Amino acid sequence: MAHAVQSHGIEMEFGSNGTRTKVLHGIDFTLDMGRLTMLVGPSGCGKTTLLSILSGTLRPTGGDVDVMGRRITAMADAEKVRFRRDRIGFIFQQYNLLPALTAAENAAMPLVAGGMSLGDGAGRARAVLETLGMGAHADKLPRQLSGGQQQRVAIARAIVHAPALIVCDEPTAALDAQSGRQVMDILKQVSADPGRAVLVVSHDNRIYHYADRIIAMEDGRIAGDSADDTLPEELHVH
């Protein structure tokens, strides 16, 4: 089967002439469908930068990225925006819910962006919220929900349009242990779909055991990978 993501020699430099800093030094890896892959490493090592590049949010200064067989690093901006909207779901530490919209309306946003009416979208989103144990909260506003519940609305929003790739940046960082487990249980279920890959960036070692594969980063490089048995000993989970 094709890889969900394939990256070749990704490099990223920030800054202008004179003060350029290189934060990614030639990163190659592939992500497989039907699995939850975790990208771990200390704060500042480049995880968010790499995730942003793999999901087409940030253009690298070198290298190529293919998502579902499409070279996103070669796409023009308008095409890339459409591709991201249709094929990729995003989950962040901040839930980024719109305060004036209900849970179902918030979760419907990718459908609305794709042209569906808010009413139809909210109907579809309600069914997704039900599968996440959030059926009773579908008509509530974000401020009426706990952090863990808001993150589940954000998950519903990330999966409502059935994207092939779901990227999550520190999805449990703001949550207590129990809410964090609920969120990871859901992401684990979502990742089992053979037509989908889930990539979770984290430095929360409470959740490493959810991963089917762990890729370790350090100083802008891949420092180990459980898939080829090169993960540093301190990251082994039992």
Ligand X SMILES: Nc1ncnc2c1ncn2[C@@H]1O[C@H](COP(=O)(O)OP(=O)(O)O)[C@@H](O)[C@H]1O
Q: Is residue 48 close enough to count as binding Mg ion by CB under 5 A?
A: yes
Q: How far is the CB of 15 from ligand X (least distance, A)?
A: 6
Candidates 45, 53, 153, 186: give the one binding ligand X (CB under 6 A): 45
For Mg ion, which is the closer residue by CB, 47 or 213?
47
State which residue, 51 or 183, has the beta carbon closest to Mg ion: 51
52-91 residues near ligand X, rule: CB under 6 A:
none
CB distance 9 to 60 below 8 Å: no
102 binds Mg ion (CB under 5 A): no
19 binds ligand X (CB under 6 A): no
Stretch that binds ligand X, among 2-10, 47-55, 118-126, 144-152 (CB under 6 A): 47-55
**Alpha carbon distance 145, 103 (integer Å):** 9
Could you tell me the strand order of the sheet in which 88-92 lies? 88-92, 165-169, 197-202, 36-40, 213-218, 221-225
Q: Which pair of structure tokens corresponds to residue 183?
A: 């969120």
Which letter, b or e, does each residue of 153-171 get, where b requires 16 or more Cβ atoms within 10 Å of its Cβ? bbbbbbbbbebbbbbbbbb
Assess 172 for contact with ligand X (CB under 6 A): no
Q: How many residues bind ligand X, per CB under 6 A? A: 10
Please tell me whether residue 93 binds ligand X under the rule CB under 6 A: no
Residue 25 tokens read as 């030094």
Candidate ranges 46-54, 81-89, 94-102, 147-155; the one touching ligand X (CB under 6 A): 46-54
Contact present, 89 and 163 (Cβ < 8 Å)? yes
Who contacts 173 (Cβ-Cβ below 8 Å, separation ≥6)?
93, 202, 204
Asked if 171 is part of the footprint of ligand X (rule: CB under 6 A), the reply reads: no
Q: Is 49 in the site for Mg ion (CB under 5 A)?
A: no
d(CA 29, CA 61): 17
Rounded least distance, CB 160 to ligand X, Å? 26
Position 155 contacts ligand X (CB under 6 A): no
Q: Which residues of the shown chain bind Mg ion in the complex (CB under 5 A)?
A: 47-48
